[in-house]
């Protein structure tokens, strides 16, 4: 009887001292409803990688990147996904935002399978569809690459059509543009549909002296989180890495995710899976010297319109905890 009382007392004490789900802090992540980051977030939730890292992940689907930024800046979300150049711009403007690496995947230029183009010089006089606007970072890098290697100014020697990624994707498949610059997952779909890659942005970046292994996209958090609840930012980074490790090797995990991937064919599914895996950054801290070189090039190409007051890499841009 005494043993039972002691055991019951120990169990009660353990239950009272253990953190409950209600005590677990929530992390509100605002992302595009159908963005590829949802595959990673789904993996985190499905395998309870958030709970394993002492937080509860709450995903808020947004209609666009601008809406996510408004929610983040207004305190309605704790995390968004953006590129670190935007974070650098915000830090230069006095906002304490910090970048946690998510993906190094970038897009490129796609042409039809029967296009005679063999390099960017062959696009002179062509109509190019570009996902984003005139300050799209891939477009700026490709312009610099074309000028360096072929002596042409793509902006003045081609006709550009700027639009949302799905619109550019459709225009490319319908043959309404002679070439298309789009994000990696639309490139994967175009490849699966029979289009041909002319050049990768990563290839152009390397030629320009940049490091294509520098992750461009990442989770953005506020500096106050790092000060007040550093375990939350570290937990997010750890959960993200654990999800990536699963997605890098586990075929069954991709089969589970397939219904959410909007892959219309097996070829498209395989291309999307391969593209995501290729974009997984290596663990460990970001090479800030390499990032500084990229920012300097973007300052030259896009100036204040792109980067605001940021003329060099602001200190504290990256969460450098080795995750």
User: Which of 181, 207, 233 marks a domain boundary?
Assistant: 207
Contact call for residues 313 and 322 (beta carbons, < 8 A): no
More confident residue, 284 or 252: 252
Q: Are 132 and 157 in contact (CB under 8 A)?
A: no
What pLDDT sits at residue 20? 44
3-state DSSP call for residue 26? strand
- CATH number of the structural domain spanning residue 145: 3.40.190.10
Nearest-angstrom CA–CA distance, 236 and 244: 12
pLDDT in the model for residue 213: 93
The string of pLDDT tens digits covering residues 256-268 is 999 999 999 999 9
Count of other CB atoms within 10 angstroms of residue 239: 27
Do residue 151 and residue 238 come from a single domain? no
The pLDDT tens digits of the residues spanning 153-199 come to 999 999 999 999 999 999 999 999 999 999 999 999 999 999 999 99
- pLDDT category at 321 given cuts 50, 70, 90 is low
For residues 89 and 123, state if they share a domain. Answer: no
Query: Do 303 and 267 sit in the same domain of this protein?
Result: yes
**240 and 122 both lie in a single domain:** no
Domain residues for 297?
A: 25-104+214-307
Based on the fold, state whether residues 70 and 154 are members of the same structural domain.
Answer: no
> Looking at 191, 207, 223, which one is the last position of a domain?
207
Max CA separation in the chain (angstroms): 91
The pTM (predicted TM-score) of the whole model is: 0.88
Q: Is the pLDDT score of 17 beyond 90? A: no
**Across residues 21-26, what is the average pLDDT?**
74
**Over residues 41-66, mean pLDDT:** 96
Please determine, for residue 227, whether its predicted confidence score (pLDDT) is greater than 80: yes
Please say if the pLDDT value at position 21 is more than 70.
no
Looking at the structure, tell me whether residues 117 and 193 fall in a common domain: yes
Q: How many domains does the chain have?
A: 2
Whether the per-residue pLDDT at 3 is higher than 50: the answer is no
Amino acid 139: pLDDT: 96
168 in any annotated domain: yes
Q: Tell me, yes or no, whether 70 lies in a domain.
A: yes
Q: Check if the beta carbon of residue 246 is closer than 8 Å to that of residue 253.
A: yes
224 shares its domain with 295: yes
Question: Does residue 96 lie within any of the structural domains?
Answer: yes
Query: Does residue 90 share a domain with residue 219?
Result: yes
Least confident of 9-23, 95-109, 276-290: 9-23
Average pLDDT over residues 265-290: 95
| Across 120-133, average pLDDT | 96
Please indicate, yes or no, whether residues 168 and 201 belong to a single structural domain of this protein. yes
Residue 315 lies in a domain: no
128 in a structural domain: yes
- Whole-angstrom distance, CA of residue 313 vs CA of residue 291: 7
Residue 288 confidence (pLDDT): 96
Q: Report the pLDDT value the prediction gives residue 232, as an integer from 0 to 100.
A: 94
The pLDDT assigned to 320 comes to 84
What mean pLDDT is reported for the chain? Answer: 92
DSSP states of 206-261? HHTT--TTS--EEEEEEHHHHHH-HHHHHHHHHHHHHHHHHHHH-HHHHHHHGGGT
User: Is pLDDT at 71 greater than 70 in this prediction?
Assistant: yes
Whole-angstrom Cα distance, residue 319 to residue 4? 49
Please give the pLDDT value at position 34.
87
Check whether residue 99 and residue 133 sit in a common domain. Answer: no
236 & 269 share domain: yes
Per-residue pLDDT, averaged over 224-236, amounts to 94
Is position 172 within any domain?
A: yes
Kindly state whether residue 19 falls inside one of the protein's structural domains.
Answer: no
Task: Identify whether residues 155 and 273 lie together within a single domain.
Answer: no
């Amino acid at each position: 009887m005494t043993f039972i009382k002691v055991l019951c007392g120990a169990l009660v004490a353990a239950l009272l001292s253990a953190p409950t789900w209600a005590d677990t802090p929530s992390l509100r992540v605002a992302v595009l409803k159908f963005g590829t980051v949802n595959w990673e977030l789904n993996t985190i939730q499905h395998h309870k990688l958030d709970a394993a890292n002492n937080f509860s992940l709450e995903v808020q689907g947004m209609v666009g990147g601008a809406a996510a930024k408004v929610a983040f800046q207004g305190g309605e979300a704790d995390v968004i996904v953006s590129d670190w150049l935007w974070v650098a711009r915000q830090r230069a403007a006095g906002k304490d935002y910090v970048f946690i690496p998510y993906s190094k995947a970038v897009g490129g230029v796609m042409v039809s399978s029967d296009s005679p183009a063999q390099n960017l010089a062959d696009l002179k006089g062509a109509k190019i569809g570009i996902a984003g606007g005139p300050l799209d970072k891939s477009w700026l890098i490709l312009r610099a690459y074309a000028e360096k290697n072929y002596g042409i100014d793509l902006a003045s020697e081609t006709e550009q059509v700027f639009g949302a990624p799905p619109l550019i994707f459709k225009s490319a498949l319908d043959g309404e543009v002679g070439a298309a610059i789009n994000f990696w997952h639309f490139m994967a779909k175009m490849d699966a549909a029979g289009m041909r890659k002319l050049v990768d942005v990563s290839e152009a970046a390397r030629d320009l002296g940049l490091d294509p292994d520098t992750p461009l996209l990442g989770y953005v958090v506020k500096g106050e989180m790092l000060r007040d609840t550093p375990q939350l930012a570290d937990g997010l980074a750890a959960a993200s890495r654990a999800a990536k490790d699963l997605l890098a090797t586990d075929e069954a995990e991709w089969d589970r995710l397939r219904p959410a991937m909007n892959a219309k064919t097996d070829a498209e599914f395989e291309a999307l899976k391969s593209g995501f895996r290729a974009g997984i950054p290596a663990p460990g801290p970001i090479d800030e010297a390499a990032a500084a070189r990229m920012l300097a090039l973007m300052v030259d190409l896009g100036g204040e319109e792109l980067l605001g007051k940021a003329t060099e890499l602001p200190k504290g841009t990256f969460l450098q905890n080795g995750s």
